[in-house]
């Protein structure tokens, strides 16, 4: 199998265009056309994980956190990042990161946490905008059904729980081909008035190439008229964090105990119990303090996340209970999720979880 078979699959689930601006998701070391026969999954690509890959003759590491975030100007083995990069290159080990793009999709890191807590009515906490566009095209009337269906088949026209959504109006199109043209209808040099349908469909920008390829393939005209319009709409299924309800409200202490158990964490740092009962829980795996105001805004009783600084706990302002369960702890099951989807898609590809707990933070309990 080629590396790109795996990366194309992962990016069909979590397109890299969904990553945050500061992130460095994608293939960090390696080439897409390289043959790969096994993969090691981890949250953090540490030196231990590289050594494990070398010992087990694994030539691909799939990590949640990118080993390279910013530009590196020298490779002198002076710190762990430089040593890992050198070792990976020397041993022909590819490193791929699937990070905030996996955080930001609906079926991603945060929904998996919500499932572990048994939440219902789950939705994205802070949906992103500028991820949707509208395609408008004009079709000769007897080709309209075929063109519309071709667009639906590659994912256009999905809105919430509905698919095959479009708007269609009928009118008259005009065109005149020059001496070099070869018109599908009418004759060159003569203005043609043609009964046409205007088809409008919405689509996520992540699949724009597929949408346009489908249009170009099925539309009969030599030159196809179409408009692409960027939309300001929020994408309801792509964004930061997650929010959902407990099936039954719980006492705050009981809720924290449940979180501790279900998220397999030994310590939870939390604010005071400003609400005695918890029903709505907001979630952000990893560093999530940037979403605190959003969690308060949607009426969450508790915000489960990590990496809160001392002063940020004050921002709960007695309106929400913050539960900081630890960065690694909040994301640890991301590895299992990656293993599950890759194994399901490529059952004969040897994919394993690292045997190391890569959490750099230890607790004396
Ligand atoms: Zn993280």
Q: How far apart are CA 271 and CA 294, in angstroms?
A: 17
The structure's pTM equals 0.90
Q: Output the CA 176–ligand 1 centroid distance in Å.
A: 57
Average pLDDT over residues 226-248: 97
Strand, helix or coil for residue 266: coil
User: Taking the domains of the chain in order of start, what are their residue ranges?
Assistant: 3-102+333-353, 105-127+239-325, 131-231
Kindly list the strands in the beta sheet with 60-63, ordered across the sheet, starting from the edge strand earlier in the chain: 26-29, 94-97, 60-63, 38-42, 350-353
Q: Output the CA 334–ligand 1 centroid distance in Å.
A: 10
Other CB atoms within a 10 A radius of the CB of residue 148 amount to: 21
Q: Is the dihedral of CA 14, 19, 25, 31 positive or negative?
A: positive
* Beta-strand pair 192-204/277-287: unpaired
Q: Output the CA 65–ligand 1 centroid distance in Å.
A: 6
Strand, helix or coil for residue 137: strand
Residue 75 CA, distance from chain mean position: 31
Token output for 306: 């990590």
Q: Output the CA 290–ligand 1 centroid distance in Å.
A: 14
Given the candidates 3.40.1390.30, 1.10.3720.10, 3.40.50.300, 3.40.50.10490, the CATH classification of the domain at 105-127+239-325 is 3.40.1390.30
- Condensed to tens digits (0 to 9), the pLDDT of residues 44-61 reads 999 999 999 999 999 999
Average pLDDT over residues 301-306: 98
Q: Residues with Cβ < 8 Å from 134, sequence gap 6 or more?
A: 200, 201, 202, 203, 227, 228, 229, 231
Q: Are domains 3-102+333-353 and 105-127+239-325 of this chain identical in fold?
A: yes
Site of tokens 């990016």: 11
Q: What is the CA radius of gyration of the chain?
A: 25
CATH architecture of 131-231: 2-Layer Sandwich (3.30)
**CA 161, 165, 171 angle in degrees (round to 5)?**
165
> Is residue 161 very low, low, confident or very high in pLDDT (cuts 50, 70, 90)?
confident
Q: Output the CA 126–ligand 1 centroid distance in Å.
A: 18
Considering only CA atoms, which of 164, 21, 4 is closest in space to residue 101?
A: 21
Q: Output the CA 257–ligand 1 centroid distance in Å.
A: 23
Burial 261-285 (b: 16+ CB within 10 A, else e): eebebeebebbeeebeebbbbbbbb
Residue 66 CA, distance from chain mean position: 15
Strand, helix or coil for residue 249: strand
Q: How far apart are CA 295 and CA 66, in angstroms?
A: 27
Q: Output the CA 38–ligand 1 centroid distance in Å.
A: 24
Q: Domain 3-102+333-353 belongs to what topology?
A: 3.40.1390
- Condensed to tens digits (0 to 9), the pLDDT of residues 15-42 reads 999 999 999 999 999 999 999 999 999 9
Can you say whether residue 167 is alpha, beta or left, with left for phi > 0 and alpha for psi between -120 and 50 degrees?
Answer: beta
Q: What is the pLDDT of residue 192?
A: 95
Q: Output the CA 240–ligand 1 centroid distance in Å.
A: 13
Q: Output the CA 136–ligand 1 centroid distance in Å.
A: 39
Q: Output the CA 327–ligand 1 centroid distance in Å.
A: 6
Considering only CA atoms, which of 99, 154, 103, 148 is closest in space to residue 125?
A: 103
- Condensed to tens digits (0 to 9), the pLDDT of residues 73-99 reads 999 999 999 999 999 999 999 999 999
């Amino acid at each position: 199998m080629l590396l790109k078979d795996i990366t194309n699959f992962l990016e069909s689930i979590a397109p890299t265009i969904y990553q945050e601006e500061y992130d460095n998701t994608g293939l960090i070391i390696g080439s897409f056309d390289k043959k790969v026969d096994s993969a090691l999954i981890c949250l953090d690509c540490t030196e231990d994980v590289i050594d494990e890959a070398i010992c087990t003759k694994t030539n691909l590491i799939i990590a949640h956190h990118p080993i390279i975030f910013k530009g590196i100007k020298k490779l002198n083995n002076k710190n762990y990042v430089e040593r890992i990069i050198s070792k990976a290159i020397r041993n022909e080990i590819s490193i791929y990161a699937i990070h905030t793009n996996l955080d930001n999709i609906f079926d991603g890191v945060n929904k998996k946490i919500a499932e572990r807590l048994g939440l219902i009515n789950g939705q994205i906490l802070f949906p992103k905008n500028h991820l949707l566009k509208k395609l408008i095209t004009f079709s000769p009337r007897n080709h309209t059904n075929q063109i519309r269906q071709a667009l639906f088949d590659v994912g256009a026209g999905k809105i919430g729980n509905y698919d095959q959504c479009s708007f269609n109006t009928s009118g008259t199109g005009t065109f005149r081909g020059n001496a070099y043209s070869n018109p599908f209808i009418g004759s060159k040099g003569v203005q043609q008035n043609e009964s046409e349908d205007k088809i409008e469909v919405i689509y996520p920008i992540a699949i724009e190439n597929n949408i346009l390829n489908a249009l170009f393939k099925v539309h009969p005209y030599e030159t196809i008229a179409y408009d692409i319009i960027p939309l300001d709409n929020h994408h309801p299924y792509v964004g930061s964090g997650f929010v959902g309800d407990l099936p039954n409200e719980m006492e705050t202490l009981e809720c924290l105990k449940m979180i501790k158990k279900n998220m397999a964490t030994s310590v939870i740092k939390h604010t005071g119990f400003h609400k005695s009962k918890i029903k709505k829980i907001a979630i952000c795996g990893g560093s999530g303090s940037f979403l605190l105001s959003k969690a308060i805004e949607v009426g969450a009783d508790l915000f489960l996340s990590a990496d809160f600084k001392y002063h940020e706990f004050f921002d709960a302002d007695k309106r929400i209970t913050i539960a900081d369960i630890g960065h690694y702890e909040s994301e640890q099951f991301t590895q299992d999720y990656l293993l599950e989807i890759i194994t399901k898609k490529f059952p004969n590809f040897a994919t394993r979880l690292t045997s190391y707990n890569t959490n750099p933070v230890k607790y004396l309990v």
